[in-house]
Amino acid sequence: MKKDHVCLKLDGEEIHDSMDCVVEESPLSIFINGRHFVTAMTSPHMAEEFILGYLFTERIINGLSDVESLEIEGRVARLLISNPIKAIVPESR
């Protein structure tokens, strides 16, 4: 989501007030099997897609079949996954 904000713009040596469109972000806290995993700054939209994609790219889940439940309330997400040890013990890369 984007929102117009008042800002100052520098044009050479002149400074003037202006409106500019800025993408809004807010913190999203993700808990896996009752433990805080991460808080990320995200767009307020498509939280479920962000969470699943993030956990997949971080190799916490291998696919949707690893997710037993996903609940989002406000800016807090709670998941139950079949192998939570991956979220606790970092994988050596």
Give the pLDDT score at 93: 45
Q: Which domains are present in the chain?
A: 26-88 (3.10.20.10)
Of the pLDDT bands very low, low, confident and very high (cuts 50, 70, 90), residue 84 is: confident
Residue among 75, 71, 29, 73 at smallest CA distance from 54: 29
For residues 46 and 63, give the distance between their C-alpha atoms in angstroms, rounded to a whole number: 18
Element (H, E) at 23: strand 14-23
Residues shown for the chain: 93
Contacts (Cβ under 8 Å, ≥6 apart) of 50: 28, 40, 42, 43
With tokens 């995200």, the residue in question is 42
Give the pLDDT score at 43: 87
pLDDT digits (tens, 9 = 90+) for 30-60: 999 999 999 999 988 899 999 999 999 999 9
pLDDT digits (tens, 9 = 90+) for 1-27: 788 889 899 989 999 999 988 888 899
